[in-house]
């Protein structure tokens, strides 16, 4: 119970209104506070915060407390959110007694804590070097590149001296564990002697920080144009840093992304700094590798519209297409801004000004259109294979059908052939996957009566007609927990009900709205068929009830009551017969 006690104390000390108000502008309405939701794209103030410690969005249904908000907004684990908020609240978690934890967890936590301290010390050391006599050349370089002292301080830039043991000596003098520093990527380890050395030498240093603004890694750029050393080197993965999970500058760009609802994604440190220098503070940078799924997910947690900034050469177009594909597969709004060949963000903004850059942004292509135009230069077979691979990877089933139509129209493919080919791909998936999917379908069907399955099938295919289905009498038949919960969500959210589903509900939705489902092109016929089935089913229930009542009347010798039952039973029978003839 130690964690629960600490959580309650933290909630008492931190106002949820004050906490959330740091990240999004809240407006008071009565005894609550409202704003557009930071977790989905909208303009209406459907996001509500109450002083009793809760938030709720009427649009996307996200809800929770200060811990939930920090986890969702910053992409933190509960443990990270607890530790971060406990520091702010002045709550010592250790005072709440020992917690049950896996063997070695305490030691690992202490190692991470020590690493964070060493990275913080290293950043301070590099910053001091930059301000000192040894940093003069680096300061001149930064001035040439237009990096102001204010921007350098904001991002914690520094200078690594041209020496093999400058940082290692600094850390050793402060009692740091140099073996841990080597393991954590802060120092290198000599292959000959096994002793530590400085991997960053004579470089402009870029601290890489997590969303809590803690330095967890470094990037270093050579400033000597005559040097044959690698232009950039980066920290290796460590216990506190996984390159594919982070983005440069996200901690400082997060608020601007939330406000603007869009993000500029660049390829490197200098491009990102230049954008911030010119006021585009909703910008983040990659970390020297291809965009990962984790980075995509993290970006989309902050802003729904992504602007990709890549070079206009072949390599840039290829990278832009790969990145656009990852975002599009998740249903994100993506635009691709290709810089003219021979130009980069630095030369564009400094040479032609921010107005020219804005014009370039206005002329940017929607992500899928950019992919299509890139496919024009490919062999038809390769373009077709890209389409099939892209569609198979889409994570929003309701976007599959319109995407197939779009690609077929713009690439002059036969739409039905493209659909058939993708369905065949799905059917030819490995046997274990196919067996698992069949087992899931069987399990779902086995827990739900046939009439419930038919109602949900039609409601999932045509969620905008859910109220018509309700008026047919569907509500009273949806008894199973899965059916009633999904039906309620469809009634409330319509076409958006498919977002956020998991488990059996996700499988059911995908089966009726996914790639293998028939096109939703004949709603009147399908709703008419459902109404007919419902009428017959409801009448059969009514007939059974009346029959029981008739038997009761006979047993009691009440002839008049029995005749009334027969007359009532005859009415729906005649109506059904007439409907069948029509």
CATH of the domain at 174: 3.90.980.10
- Contact present, 350 and 279 (Cβ < 8 Å): no
Cα–Cα distance for residue pair 19/24, rounded to 1 Å? 9
Is 526 domain-assigned?
Answer: no
pLDDT band at 428 (very low <50, low <70, confident <90, very high): low
- Contact present, 181 and 187 (Cβ < 8 Å): yes
Across 206-231, average pLDDT: 89
Same domain, 124 and 211: yes
- Contact present, 307 and 364 (Cβ < 8 Å): yes
Same domain, 371 and 299: yes
Is 110 domain-assigned?
Answer: yes
Tally Cβ neighbours within 10 Å of residue 226: 5
- Contact present, 64 and 55 (Cβ < 8 Å): yes
Tally Cβ neighbours within 10 Å of residue 248: 26
Is 489 domain-assigned?
Answer: yes
Confidence (pLDDT) at 434 = 42
- Contact present, 232 and 221 (Cβ < 8 Å): yes
Cα–Cα distance for residue pair 425/389, rounded to 1 Å? 9
Q: Which residue has the tokens 């709205």?
A: 513
Cα–Cα distance for residue pair 129/326, rounded to 1 Å? 40
Across 424-428, average pLDDT: 60
Calculate the average pLDDT of the chain.
Answer: 81
The dihedral region occupied by 249, where left means phi > 0, alpha psi between -120 and 50, and beta the remainder, is: left
The three-state secondary structure class of 92 is coil
Same domain, 236 and 363: no
What does the pLDDT look like over 97-135, one tens digit per residue? Answer: 555 444 455 566 688 889 999 999 999 999 999 999 999
- CATH number of the CATH domain containing 352: 3.40.1360.10
Same domain, 390 and 302: no
Read off the tokens for 397: 């089933």
The three-state secondary structure class of 238 is strand
Same domain, 341 and 358: yes
Read off the tokens for 465: 């007609």
- Contact present, 238 and 278 (Cβ < 8 Å): no
Cα–Cα distance for residue pair 127/155, rounded to 1 Å? 10
Helix (H) or strand (E) segment spanning residue 320: helix 314-328
Cα–Cα distance for residue pair 344/310, rounded to 1 Å? 8
Residue 5: pLDDT over 80: no
φ, ψ of residue 472 in degrees (nearest 5) = -75, -10
pLDDT band at 72 (very low <50, low <70, confident <90, very high): confident
Cα–Cα distance for residue pair 175/160, rounded to 1 Å? 20
Same domain, 120 and 233: yes
Q: Which residue has the tokens 């906490």?
A: 19
Q: 266: closest CA among 200, 348, 331, 210?
A: 348
Same domain, 220 and 181: yes
Q: 501: closest CA among 358, 377, 395, 361?
A: 395
Rg (CA), the chain: 31
Is 527 domain-assigned?
Answer: no
Q: 55: closest CA among 43, 82, 73, 75?
A: 73
Same domain, 371 and 393: no
Confidence (pLDDT) at 562 = 47
* Domain containing residue 391: 380-427
Q: How far, CA to CA in Å, does 94 sit from each of 4, 101, 108, 247, 338?
A: 13, 13, 16, 32, 52
Is 289 domain-assigned?
Answer: yes
Domain count, the chain: 6
Confidence (pLDDT) at 141 = 94
Same domain, 446 and 556: no
Burial of 196 (0-12, 13-18, 19+ CB in 10 A): buried
Read off the tokens for 514: 């996914």
Is 411 domain-assigned?
Answer: yes
Same domain, 356 and 284: yes
- Please, what is the Cα angle at 83 between 287 and 53, to 5 degrees? 110
What does the pLDDT look like over 526-558, one tens digit per residue? Answer: 898 888 888 887 666 555 544 454 455 555 554
Same domain, 366 and 457: no
φ, ψ of residue 351 in degrees (nearest 5) = -90, -40
pLDDT band at 195 (very low <50, low <70, confident <90, very high): very high
pLDDT band at 573 (very low <50, low <70, confident <90, very high): very low
What does the pLDDT look like over 314-349, one tens digit per residue? Answer: 888 888 999 999 998 887 889 999 887 777 788 888
Q: How far, CA to CA in Å, does 120 sit from each of 117, 132, 144, 346?
A: 5, 19, 28, 29
SS3 percent helix, strand, coil of the chain, rounded to 5, is 60, 10, 30
The three-state secondary structure class of 162 is coil
Work out the percent of the chain whose per-residue pLDDT is above 70. Answer: 81
- CATH number of the CATH domain containing 67: 3.90.580.10
Burial of 210 (0-12, 13-18, 19+ CB in 10 A): buried
DSSP label at 91? -
What does the pLDDT look like over 460-511, one tens digit per residue? Answer: 989 889 989 988 878 777 888 888 888 988 888 777 777 667 777 877 887 7
Confidence (pLDDT) at 414 = 86
Same domain, 121 and 236: yes
What's the gap between Cα 514 and its chain centre?
20
pLDDT band at 272 (very low <50, low <70, confident <90, very high): very high
Across 21-44, average pLDDT: 82
- Of 300-304, 339-343, 355-359, which range is least confident? 300-304
- Of 95-99, 211-215, 394-398, 442-446, which range is least confident? 442-446
Q: Point out the domain boundary residue: 185, 206, 241.
A: 241
Rounded to a whole number of angstroms, the distance between the first and last alpha carbons of the chain is 67
Cα–Cα distance for residue pair 437/414, rounded to 1 Å? 29
The residues, ordered by sequence, that sit 6+ positions from 204 with a Cβ below 8 Å of its Cβ are 138, 141, 142, 157, 158, 159, 220, 221, 223
Helix (H) or strand (E) segment spanning residue 233: strand 232-234
Q: Point out the domain boundary residue: 96, 129, 144.
A: 96
Across 352-356, average pLDDT: 89
Check residues 403 and 537 and name the one with the higher pLDDT.
Answer: 403
Residue 175: pLDDT over 80: yes
Across 281-310, average pLDDT: 83
Q: Point out the domain boundary residue: 476, 500, 521.
A: 521
pLDDT band at 569 (very low <50, low <70, confident <90, very high): very low
């Amino acid at each position: 119970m130690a964690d629960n006690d600490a959580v309650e104390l933290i909630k008492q000390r931190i106002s949820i209104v004050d906490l959330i108000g740091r990240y999004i502008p809240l407006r008071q309405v009565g005894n609550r506070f409202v704003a557009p939701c930071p977790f989905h794209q909208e303009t209406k103030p459907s996001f509500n915060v109450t002083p009793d410690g809760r938030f709720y969005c009427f649009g996307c249904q996200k809800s929770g407390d200060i811990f939930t908000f920090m986890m969702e907004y910053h992409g933190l684990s509960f443990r990270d959110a607890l530790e971060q908020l406990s520091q702010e609240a002045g709550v010592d978690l250790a005072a709440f007694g020992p917690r049950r934890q896996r063997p070695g967890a305490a030691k690992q936590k202490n190692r991470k804590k020590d690493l964070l301290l060493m990275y913080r010390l290293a950043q301070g050391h590099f910053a001091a070097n930059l301000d000192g006599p040894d940093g003069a050349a680096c300061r001149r370089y930064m001035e040439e590149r237009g990096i102001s002292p204010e921007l350098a301080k904001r991002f914690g830039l520094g200078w690594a001296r041209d020496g093999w043991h400058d940082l290692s000596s600094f850390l050793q003098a402060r009692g740091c564990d140099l073996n841990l520093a080597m393991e954590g990527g802060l120092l290198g380890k000599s292959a000959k002697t096994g002793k530590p050395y400085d991997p960053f030498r004579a470089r402009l240093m870029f601290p890489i920080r997590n969303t809590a603004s803690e330095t967890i890694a470094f990037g270093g750029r050579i400033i000597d144009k005559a040097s044959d050393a690698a232009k950039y080197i980066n920290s290796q993965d460590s216990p506190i840093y996984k390159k594919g999970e982070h983005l440069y500058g996200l901690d400082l760009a997060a608020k601007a992304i939330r406000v603007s609802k869009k993000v500029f994604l660049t390829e490197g440190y200098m491009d990102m700094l230049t954008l911030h220098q010119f006021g585009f503070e909703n910008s983040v940078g990659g970390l020297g590798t291809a965009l990962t799924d984790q980075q995509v997910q993290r970006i989309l947690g902050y802003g729904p519209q992504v602007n990709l900034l890549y070079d206009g050469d072949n390599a840039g177009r290829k990278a832009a297409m790969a990145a656009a594909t990852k975002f599009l597969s998740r249903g994100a709004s993506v635009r691709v801004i290709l810089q003219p060949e021979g130009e980069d963000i630095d030369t564009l903004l400094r040479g032609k000004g921010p107005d020219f850059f804005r014009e370039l942004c206005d002329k940017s292509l929607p992500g899928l259109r950019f992919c299509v135009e890139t496919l024009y230069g490919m062999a038809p077979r390769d373009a077709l294979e890209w389409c099939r691979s892209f569609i198979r990877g889409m994570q929003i089933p309701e976007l599959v059908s319109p995407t197939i139509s779009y690609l077929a129209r713009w690439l002059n493919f036969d739409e039905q052939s493209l659909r058939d080919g993708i369905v065949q791909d799905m059917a030819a998936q490995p046997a274990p996957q196919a067996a698992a999917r069949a087992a899931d379908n069987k399990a779902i069907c086995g827990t739900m009566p046939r009439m419930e399955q038919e109602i949900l099938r039609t409601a999932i295919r045509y969620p905008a007609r859910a109220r018509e289905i309700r008026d047919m009498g569907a509500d009273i038949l949806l008894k199973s927990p899965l059916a009633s919960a999904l039906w309620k969500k469809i009634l409330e959210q319509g076409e958006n009900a498919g977002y956020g589903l998991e488990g059996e509900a996700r499988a059911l939705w995908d089966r009726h709205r996914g790639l293998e489902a028939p096109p939703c092109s004949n709603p009147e016929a399908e709703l008419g068929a459902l109404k007919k089935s419902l009428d017959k089913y409801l009448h059969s229930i009514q007939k059974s009830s009346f029959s029981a009542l008739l038997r009761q009347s006979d047993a009691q010798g009440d002839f008049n009551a029995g005749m009334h039952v027969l007359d009532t039973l005859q009415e729906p029978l005649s109506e059904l017969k007439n409907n069948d003839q029509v």
